[in-house]
């Protein structure tokens, strides 16, 4: 029987984080169930190296408008969303915390608030990789593939990074790293 699940994250070949899930009071059961773990509700990941020093925007700045072609071939114009709350999600496929973000957004327990628009930006990933990734998750918002120029506009070099823009096109918050609690602020079911 499993008594512990341990997840270790490394950066530059050095241990940077360990998460342990301990199991107890187990019972033998003939039914097959999948082993699953959930991080504590208040858990968040934040890069231990200072990626914020490269950001070209800060809280209170005007958002930087951009136009880009989305994964479906449609022209996307950020400025046309002025008047709505916008959440930019900078993410990459080969990032465990980005995957956890995608799982949370595509969960049946998550329903995006009506006044919020989420834009998924994938600066490092090819369109083909993202299409394969998209088959594993359900997204109801635009995905901008190969959006490296947009990441450079904002100075993004750590993933996931969230930029919350208010209805007046002002940056309200910048969140580095995964946070279930932060994402749940946009969940209608919370």
Q: What is the pLDDT of residues 55-81, one digit of tens each?
A: 999 999 999 999 999 988 899 999 999
Q: What is the 3-state secondary structure (H, E, C) of 19-71?
A: EEEECCCCCCCCCCCCCCCCCCCCCECCCCCCHHHHCCCCCCCECCCCEEECC
Is the pLDDT at 88 greater than 90? The verdict is yes
Q: Which two tokens stand for residue 59?
A: 């809280």
Arithmetic mean of pLDDT over the chain: 85
Q: Average the pLDDT over each of 40-49, 104-113, 171-180 and give the range with the smallest value.
A: 40-49
Looking at residue 128, its pLDDT comes to 87
In sequence order, the β-bridge partners of residue 7 are 19
Helices (H), 26-179: 96-105, 127-134, 148-154
Is the pLDDT at 133 greater than 90? The verdict is no
Dihedral over Cα of 42, 181, 177, 140: its sign: positive
What is the band of 153 on the pLDDT scale with cuts at 50, 70, 90? Answer: very high
Looking at residue 167, its pLDDT comes to 97
Which class for 35: exposed (0-12), middle (13-18), buried (19 or more C-beta within 10 A)? exposed
Q: Which two tokens stand for residue 60?
A: 């209170």
Work out the average pLDDT over 83-108: 91
- The share of the chain scoring above pLDDT 90, in percent, equals 47
Is the pLDDT at 26 greater than 80? The verdict is no
Residue that wins the pLDDT comparison between 95 and 179: 179
Work out the average pLDDT over 163-186: 95
**Integer Cα distance of 188 and 33 in angstroms:** 29
Work out the average pLDDT over 21-35: 77
**Integer Cα distance of 162 and 177 in angstroms:** 8
Q: Could you give all domains of the chain from N- to C-terminal order, each with its CATH number?
A: 51-184 (3.40.30.10)
Looking at residue 139, its pLDDT comes to 81
Query: pTM of the entire structure?
Result: 0.77
């Amino acid at each position: 029987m499993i008594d512990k699940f341990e997840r270790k994250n490394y950066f530059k070949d050095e241990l940077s984080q360990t998460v342990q899930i301990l199991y107890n009071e187990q019972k033998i059961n003939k039914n097959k169930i999948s082993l699953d773990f959930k991080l504590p509700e208040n858990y968040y990941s934040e890069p231990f190296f200072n990626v914020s020093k490269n950001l070209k925007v800060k809280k209170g700045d005007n958002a930087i408008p951009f136009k880009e072609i989305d994964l479906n071939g449609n022209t996307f114009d950020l400025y046309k969303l002025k008047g709505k709350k916008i959440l930019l999600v900078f993410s990459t496929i080969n990032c465990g915390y980005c995957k956890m973000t995608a799982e949370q957004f595509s969960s049946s327990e998550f329903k995006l608030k009506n006044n919020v628009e989420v834009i998924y930006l994938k600066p490092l990933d090819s369109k083909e990789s993202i299409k394969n990734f998209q088959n594993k998750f359900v997204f109801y918002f635009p995905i901008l593939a190969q959006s490296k120029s947009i990441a450079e506009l904002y100075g993004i070099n750590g993933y996931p990074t969230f930029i919350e823009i208010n209805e007046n096109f002002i940056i309200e918050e910048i969140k580095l790293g995964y946070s279930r609690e932060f994402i749940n602020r946009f969940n209608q079911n919370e």
